[in-house]
Structure 1
Amino acid sequence: MRVGFGSLLLVPDQTLNKNLLAELMDRWNCERRGFELPLGLIEITTIDVALILGIGVTGESVVLEEDVPFSDIEKFYGSSVEKRTISMASLDKRLKSLDVRVNEDFIRTFLLFTFGTFLFPNAFGTVDSRFLLYMKDLDKIPLLAWGRAVLQDLIKWMDRRKKDDTEKYMGSCLILLQVWSYEHIDIARPMVPESYAPFPRACRWQNSSYRLRQWFTTKFDGLNREQIIWELEPTPEEKKIDIIFQLLDLENDAIEVPSPSKYSSTNVIVVDDDNLRDGFTIPEDILECRDLEVDLTKQSVAVVEDDVGLLSTSKCAINNIIDNEDNLRALRRLEEQNSELRNEVNHLRSKNAILQNQLSSLNAHVGSELQKEVDHLRTENQILKNQLSSINGLADRLEKILYDDDIND
């Protein structure tokens, strides 16, 4: 059987870039569901999740309902009615104790371990046991929109951090956010290794260099269009992958991402340390079982099923299809461009008015200075005339004196 998470085993450990993530979170707009850049709003979408993590985003929604009764399968994996969580330590111990064979028990345990360390991590070393309600029938696991659930969880935590600046913890899959930035924005992109797995895209990026927070703010404020990829375009090879093909096969009708409000409030992860790490580590003694994508013979597990049964179809119903996402994005982009052009026109008009005022002031100043110069020249001319007249008078007197002396001689 295939459960749809095999691509995560290819993702290498990465160091979280605290200052880059903080800059992105500060630019998050809760109402518009996007990051505010100088050139417009950029969104994180389901196609981003599918390309970056390689997990499905179509199908039935994964929602952790608060009022769902406690089940026997949760109890079997060590949860309790009071907390409804399972410790990562117990899951790690359970993985090491299981046989090398990949059976249903191993798959459920490994998925819970993956959720708690990579997709839905928190600061308490636990994972929500209600995820098990979606794992009773392993054949249905790949039919669920796990990637959309990860995106919803990330949005919920960014909303929470934006509304409460005293929040010390940030939950969800931060590697998704970091790699999303590398894919869309040419700032602090790390070196691409010479060889890497072509899919998912999280495999292509190495760790980036440390930068001060002010460096990121300056770089983001100075972004130009050449540094931004507004929407990721799947390659021809990526379009052949099932989860990408299924998403594109919806004929550009996007699956609505509802406001994330039904997730456990315990999914948090510290982001205050400079050197944070995400990803998950597979115990060495189970590395031989790392590929969960292989075909498995169905095997029974001694699990006492509860009387509640799987969540009703109405609670897991797929979100309504909204209007064509491409058209909406194109419309938003045109509106943003139109707004930018209007702002540019207003800016040019203001600049023109300033130049006209400066020209008028300059003309007035030059005219005034010229008038002063003319008056000054006239004054000097008059002085010269007076001096010339005096000189002429003096010359006449000298000539007369000389003439009188000649007569007397």
Structure 2
Amino acid sequence: MAAWDWYDVLPSRVCRIIDGTGFGVFCYSLTRVTASRTLLGALVERWCDTTNSFHFSTAGEMTMNLVDFAMITGLGVVGDPIPLDADMGEWVAAWDTLLGARQPTLRAGMLTYTWFEAHYRGEDPDTDEEVEQYARGFLLFLFGTTLFSNGWNTVGFYFLGALVVLQGVCFYDWGMADLTTLYGYMSSTSRMCGRLIGGYWRGWELWVYAYFPALALEPVEETATTVPFSDVYDSQLRRRTQESFIFFRQYFDMVTAREITWQPWDAIPSGLRD
């Protein structure tokens, strides 16, 4: 199950909490575009894990910066450090208090996606406590399937430490944490010969679309660039001819600086951009 499919059917009281945490816009705007593995594979080849940046033969060095991440996802890149609790998996009582249930087996402090779907989806919480428990469950599912995804379909129980007081979730620097995670996954993938492992890969693809317009999908109806940028690709699109890995490799080797849109967010009104 995709996070956006679950968000679309959340109980209204739970949805209001998710919106209040700052993740509502992110959930609503998650693009349904399937990531191009050939494009991402060619991109990974150019990643340098000592500088956290891509090195293109002609255009030079580039990477996703803080502004790029905020514009693409709609998540802020300022705030307090996230209070992750590495010992949360040992607090058995936390299951009942914060989530309202327990996963039968907790392996190395990790929760499985299937447990969230089985326990929460389709439920309609009655009390305020149950509503908050449902919201925490959905946020953990969201973290595990998008921002902090891995190759094992699990999410760390330590994230629950940041969800104890839901009213405070919006004050944490989720954007910086995820951008750091994206760098880490890209570095790991570059060392694994291009095998995509974890990470919010749609974010990297959208970054390519913003800076390299020749590769971007074309919406059937003209759509203004907005925040989050992913909204542009949440409509009917004209698909390009299926490009091969060789095509993308040659493109990144030959693209020049003048073919790149260096200020892709200038088209967004300043008030919205801020």
TM-score, normalized by the shorter chain, greater than 0.5: yes
TM range (shorter): 0.7 to 0.9
Alpha-carbon spacing, 1:23–1:55, altered in 2? closer, same or farther (3 Å): same
1:73 & 1:149 partners in 2: Cα distance?
Answer: 27
Equivalent residue, structure 1, for 2:8:
none
Within 5 Å, which residues of 2 pair with 1:146-165? 146-165=174-193
**Does the Cα contact within 8 Å between 1:61 and 1:148 map onto a contact in 2?**
no
Partner of 1:21: 40
2:77 aligned residue: 57
Partners of 2:71 and 2:265 within 8 A in 1: no
Does residue 227 of the first structure (1) align with residue 259 of the second (2)?
yes
Structure 2: which amino acid aligns with 1:111?
L
Mark the CA change 1:74 to 1:218 in structure 2 (over 3 Å): closer, same or farther: farther
Report if aligned partners of 1:28, 1:158 keep a CA contact under 8 Å in 2: yes
* Partner residue in 2 for 1:176: 203
Q: Report the Cα distance in structure 2 between the residues aligned to 1:177 and 1:73, rounded to whole angstroms.
A: 39
| Equivalence for 2:112 | 87
Q: After TM superposition, give the deviation of residue 222 of structure 1 in Å.
A: 1.6
Paired positions, count: 241
Give the aligned partner of residue 64 of structure 2.
44
The one of 139, 162, 165 aligned to 1:137: 165
Distance in 2, Cα, partners of 1:196 & 1:11: 16
1:207–1:136 distance in 2 versus 1, CA, 3 Å: farther
The equivalent of 1:121 in structure 2 is 149
Residue 217 (1) aligns with residue 228 (2)? no
Q: Do the aligned residues in 1 keep the contact of 2:206 with 2:230 (CA within 8 Å)?
A: yes
Q: Distance in 1 between matches of 2:255 and 2:44?
A: 17
Structure 2 portions without partners, runs of 5+: 1-16
Deviations 1:313-358 (A, max 9, x none): xxxxxxxxxxxxxxxxxxxxxxxxxxxxxxxxxxxxxxxxxxxxxx
- Give 2:212's aligned residue: 185
Structure 2 counterpart SS, 1:24: helix
CA RMSD of aligned residues (A): 2.6
Q: Distance in 2 between matches of 1:148 and 1:240?
A: 22
Q: Give the corresponding residue for 2:10.
A: none
- The residue that corresponds to 1:99 in the other structure is 124
- Structure 1 counterpart of 2:271, from 235, 240, 249: 240
- Is 1:71–2:98 an aligned residue pair? no
Compared with structure 1, are the counterparts of its residues 73 and 182 closer, same or farther at alpha carbon in structure 2 (3 Å cutoff)?
farther
Distance in 2 separating the partners of 1:156 and 1:227: 28
- Structure 2 partner of 1:5: 23
Kept after mapping to 2: 8 A contact 1:7/1:199: no
Show CA shifts across 1:268-325 (max 9, x none): xxxxxxxxxxxxxxxxxxxxxxxxxxxxxxxxxxxxxxxxxxxxxxxxxxxxxxxxxx
Q: State the one-letter code of the partner of 1:23.
A: A
Displacement, 1:82?
4.1
TM-score under structure 2 normalisation?
0.77
**Given residue 147 of structure 1, which amino acid in structure 2 is its aligned partner?**
G
Aligned to 1:117, what secondary structure does the other structure show? Answer: helix
Cα displacement string for residues 235-269 of structure 1 (whole angstroms, at most 9, x for unaligned residues): 553x434xx53xxxxxxxxxxxxxxxxxxxxxxxx
**What 5-or-longer segments of structure 1 have no aligned partner?**
246-409
Contact 2:70–2:77 (CA<8 Å) still a contact in 1? Answer: yes
Please state how far the C-alpha of 1:62 moved relative to its aligned partner. Answer: 3.2
Match of 1:201 in 2: 229
What is the Cα deviation at residue 59 of structure 1? 0.7
Asked whether the 8 Å contact 2:220–2:238 carries over to 1, the reply is no
Structure 2 CA distance, aligned partners of 1:70 and 1:235? 49
- Say whether the 8 Å CA contact 1:94–1:109 is kept in structure 2: no
Instruction: Give SS of 1:171's match.
Output: coil
Distance 1:211 1:191 in 2: 15
Percent identity for Structure 1 against Structure 2 = 23
Q: Which moves more between the two structures, 71-80 or 149-158?
A: 71-80
